[in-house]
Amino acid sequence: MRAFNAELSKLFSLPGIWLAFLIGAFAPAVIAALDSIAQKEEIIAGVSTRLSEVGYIGLALGVQGVIILGVLAVSSEFLTESSESGGGQQITTSLTVFSSRLHFLLAKAGAVTVISILLCVVAIMTTVSATHLVLGEYAPAFEWSRLIGAVCYWTFTALLALGITVLTKNGIIPLAVLITNTSFVSFSFLLSKVSTLAFYLPDRAGIDMFMSMSDSFHTPFTGGLVMFVWVAVHFIVAVMVFHRRDVAS
């Protein structure tokens, strides 16, 4: 428990974490509001084919906050401190304090999981409020089962970001790839036009946990299971690499 609390304290001490909170809390609401405005006339007329996606699309595209969270949790450990502070890295101190590297990564993953869940709950509240503000009585009913799926999607995405950053020891690559994939160009979506195997990529499978799309491939449970397997495999590989790696290299 002390290790978990220490990781929480470390995360809250990072300046960049507040950017993650800001983006995570409000980006989904902004996306949902814009989508609601674009769809409002069709929804009122009763001809919209995307009513079931309104609101949820903000939770699908607004995961950048937890991506930043997962990346920062690890990349901050490998930042070289200033010469006045000795020019070392936080990871050296962390591994001196923790009894094992596995214990260290589990505590860090636990802290990221808790914060991701709380951040997604806040995002759900702002998103639901924004959708109802724009659409009023025409806003779709938000189902608890789908909202739970969104929470799982955010949490798994944050843990994937954490695992990838452990492998790269650098936050630039995971941030560039994951944020681009979830906001600008979905590589999984493009690949799904070529092969059905793309539906088994983590983000594409995870979306099926809460989005009702015309090209949905998995049931919510299957989509969650596929994404969980990706997270588990990434974490196992990250633990193995981290255990063998000279952190100072």
Find, among 248, 212, 205, 210, the residue nearest to 229 by Cα.
205
Neighbour tally for 202: CB within 10 Å: 21
Q: Tell me which DSSP letter residue 100 carries.
A: -
pLDDT tens for each residue of 177-214? 999 888 877 888 888 888 889 899 999 999 999 987 66
pLDDT tens for each residue of 14-32? 888 999 999 999 999 999 9
Listed ranges 3-12, 96-105, 228-237; the one with the highest mean pLDDT: 228-237
Average pLDDT for residues 80-85, to the nearest whole number? 55
Question: Going by C-beta distance under 8 Å and a sequence separation of 6 or more, which residues neighbour residue 164?
Answer: 173, 174, 177, 178, 234, 238
Question: Going by C-beta distance under 8 Å and a sequence separation of 6 or more, which residues neighbour residue 110?
Answer: 4, 7
pLDDT tens for each residue of 89-142? 778 878 787 778 899 999 999 999 999 999 999 999 999 999 999 998 888 888
Domain ranges in the chain are 2-244
Q: What gap in Å lies between CA 197 and CA 192, rounded to an integer?
A: 7
Compute the mean pLDDT over every residue in the chain, rounded to the nearest whole number.
88
